[in-house]
Structure 1
């Protein structure tokens, strides 16, 4: 599987989002079909696709990423 790490359209500035995006995190091996995920350290939202965290609409309204 090929992963595209390019910046998606409608993205927030990388300098803003990168300070809040953490990951990849691994799910515990006890979970069936465990995978990796990414998390916003400001609002706590998670996704298995890093590119989701580069969109302002993904974050909670009170998230610091929204304010930048």
Structure 2
């Protein structure tokens, strides 16, 4: 059995993420040091690190993703 594609321990299920995680989004070029970011549409939290959104603790307590 190959476990290299297993989700990280304590991670959120991928079907829930696919419904609520969007990105990468690009910041407007007029912003100094503009970068890309990802967003949870359920709670509105954003991060420049996509992996942050896979952690339940990243989301608000009442976020639909957090509850999974």
The TM tier, using the shorter chain, reads 0.7 to 0.9
Dislocated runs of 4+, deviation >6 Å: none
Question: What residue in structure 2 maps to residue 48 of structure 1?
Answer: 48
Larger CA Rg, structure 1 vs 2: 2
Q: Structure 1: any 5+ residue segments left out of the alignment?
A: 1-5
Secondary structure in 2 aligned to 1:33?
Answer: coil
**What do you get for the CA RMSD once the two structures are aligned?**
1.4
Q: Structure 2: any 5+ residue segments left out of the alignment?
A: 1-5
Please report the TM-score for the alignment, with normalisation by the length of structure 2: 0.84
Q: What count of residue pairs does the alignment treat as equivalent?
A: 63
1:8–1:51 contact (8 Å) kept in structure 2: no
Please report the TM-score for the alignment, with normalisation by the length of structure 1: 0.84
